[in-house]
Amino acid sequence: MAQGTVNPGTTTGIMTVLNAPARQQRLGAWLLIAPAVALVLVFFAYPLVSLIARSFLEPTPGFGQYVEVLSDATSLKILGRTFAVAAQVTAVTLILGYPYAYLMTLVGRRVRTVLMFLVLLPFWSSLMARTFAWIALFHPEGVIVAALRAVGLGDVKLLGTQLGVTIAMVQVLLPFMVLPLYSTMSGIDRRLLDAARSLGASRLRAFTRIYLPLSLPGVFAGSVLLFIMSLGFWVTPRLIGSPQESLIGQLIETRVGKLLDFAGAGAISTVLLVVTLVLLISFSGAVRRSSGALTGGSR
């Protein structure tokens, strides 16, 4: 073989040796995530697919369960109430969480640590304990009702009402809004605001044209997370609410636990899932368009 030429067999052998570590890394990565994938498939995907399948197969194959759900005024009313409560909780947590997360980006490290501790504090206490605490506070002789009575608002009923459920859910779910917002806001370069102000923009204009569009991914992530969690929330509405103010989780509980109507519960769950996906896709498109309009208007 002439000097300077390379044997094709040698080249193939070298490439095989070089590619071996890459294949081993990919195989190792798949082995690492295999238990998590199996867990999701067994305990999430299989029950979900099974429940949806039963909604189409029982008592007879077809769309009978969905026709019943969509023609039942009570089910539709509860579904609408669930979406209304989820939207209210999401809006209130966003109004409260956005300034809080923004403040965390302005203060020093020690104050930020304290603020983060306050955000994480609810995770260290039981959801049931917090819910029973709200029951005690919302009691007709509780502290909150007594304080409202003292300022002249009369006997405000909170326990067993949609307002009480919303207040308690906001307190429970607020950290899930603050954390995505802070994660996004902490990565925004504040020198962009200084540059905008140096070009003549006011503080408010610099914030609305620069900072707000850049923080929209965090707003979207927190809002989606809150909205989905609110739709499926069960413990707090079950204990603080009333049968007259039932949400979709309580309706599914009744179908499964008392009526043993798994097919009907699957149909309700599927309708909820489809409507949620449609709303999220629409909301995602609206956020992208508004973000593009804000950034385009600032040029």
User: pLDDT of 13-61, one tens digit each?
Assistant: 545 544 556 677 777 778 888 888 899 888 888 888 888 888 888 888 8
Ranges of H-type helices in the chain: 8-40, 46-57, 64-71, 73-106, 109-120, 127-138, 143-150, 162-185, 191-198, 203-206, 212-231, 235-240, 248-253, 262-297
User: pLDDT of 267-292, one tens digit each?
Assistant: 888 888 888 888 778 777 766 776 56
Mapped onto helix, strand or coil, the DSSP state of residue 108 is coil
CA distance 169 to 89: 7
The pLDDT of residue 295 = 54
Q: In which residue ranges of the chain is pLDDT below 70?
A: 1-22, 286-287, 290-299
The pLDDT of residue 17 = 47
The pLDDT of residue 175 = 92
The answer to whether the beta carbons of residues 92 and 170 sit under 8 Å apart is: yes
Q: Taking the mean position of all CA atoms in its chain, how far away is CA 295? A: 26
The pLDDT of residue 18 = 46
